[in-house]
Amino acid sequence: MGNSYPDRTNARGIWGIDEIYKNSITHKTFPRGATKTAISLGNVTASETITNAIDTITLETTGNASDFGDLSVARGLGAAFSNAIRTCFSGGYTPSLSDVVDFVNPRSTGDAVDFGNLTVAKSQHFGCSNSTRGFFGGGSTDPSYQNVLEFFTIAQTGNGTDFGDLTDVAWGACASTSPTRAVRYGGEGSGGSPGTVNVMDYWEMSSLGNAIDFGDLTTTIKNQAASSSFTRGICAAGRTPSLTAVMDTIIFASLGNATDWGDVTAARQSCSGSSSLTRGITCGGTTGTRVNTVDYHSMVSFGDSIDFGDLTATSTNPSVGSDGHGGLTLTS
């Protein structure tokens, strides 16, 4: 094929069967089109106003977010996971704790509809997924913290099912995935004061079971954002307990400690993230004042984040789902 050899950003030329196989199965570079996100804005003002608004952006471009639609009920401090056709938002405060799971199609616009329910109403939990299974884990049932992992089959609406347990309770954590493995980063654990941890644990998404130790982040952290490619996970910003701009990175296939990747544009916490295979985003949060900032960083080379654009409103703890993150394969 010469210089017409197809990849995710170049579908020109005539494709041979062997080339389609290499791109889709071996190299995993088969073109999938532009990556869309759906972003639930959560808490949006200093007076703790909670919104049902959902924003959307396209990761391959830069610019401000636009309106996507609305959740079934206004809520904040929830979580999200996504595959190519469904982004699911769960839990949070309405202001009472919620167990509701809504979903939208990230490749279109419109209001969310009912998907099912969490096993228990909670907030400040995390979400992650591959193409078939979505996970919500950890969180607070107020006043108790959770170590529970529950999963959903994304193609079928329904309620959460117990998967196993994290190595410790965790709220304010985040997680990201390869197509086969999920990794949880930090959060507030059960020990110490204030109890923020540098722990990472992981689980294989295809089978039930408890999470296993993966390694350590470069510092204790909570209220941060996560992104991933097929091979790499990134944990960005958060509270250490001081606010930080640091991004850590890990390689999914090998256990070990995180290393420094770069910095987001400003130290902040209570942000959320997602990604395409080449670009990660960090959305919203607070620097002491709520922000509507969206940063982006490379998923393939070390370096600092760059300004992407703005959400439609200032927002802490937004919930973000992408139809092209590292947990999703060609068949997603």
pLDDT in single tens digits along all 332 residues of the chain: 344 445 444 555 555 666 655 555 455 555 557 899 999 999 998 778 999 999 999 999 999 999 999 999 999 999 999 999 999 999 999 999 999 999 999 999 999 999 999 999 999 999 999 999 999 999 999 999 999 999 999 999 999 999 999 999 999 999 999 999 999 999 999 865 567 999 999 999 999 999 999 999 999 999 999 999 999 999 999 999 999 999 999 999 999 999 999 999 999 999 999 999 999 999 999 999 999 999 999 999 999 999 999 999 999 999 999 999 999 976 54
The pLDDT value recorded for residue 9 is: 47
Quote the pLDDT of residue 156: 96
Q: What pLDDT score does 48 carry?
A: 83
pLDDT at 2: 42
CATH fold for the domain made of 36-322: Neuraminidase (2.120.10)
Structure confidence at residue 22 (pLDDT): 58
**The pLDDT value given to residue 47:** 79
Cβ-proximal residues to 15 (8 Å cutoff; 6+ apart), any chain? 6
Q: What pLDDT score does 94 carry?
A: 93
The half-sphere exposure of 203 on its side-chain side, counting CA atoms within 13 A, is: 26
Q: Which residues contact 269 (CB under 8 A, 6 or more apart)?
A: 222, 223, 224, 237, 238, 239, 243, 285, 286
Q: Which of 128, 148, 134, 131 is nearest to 272 (CA)?
A: 128
pLDDT for 195 equals 78
3-state secondary structure of 18: helix
Quick one: which of 234, 207, 215 has its CA closest to 325? Answer: 234
C-alpha 142/C-alpha 192 separation (Å) is 19
- Distance (Å, rounded) from C-alpha 174 to C-alpha 78? 12
Residue-level pLDDT at 288: 94
Give residue 213's Cα distance to chain centre: 20
Domain positions in the chain are 1-31, 36-322
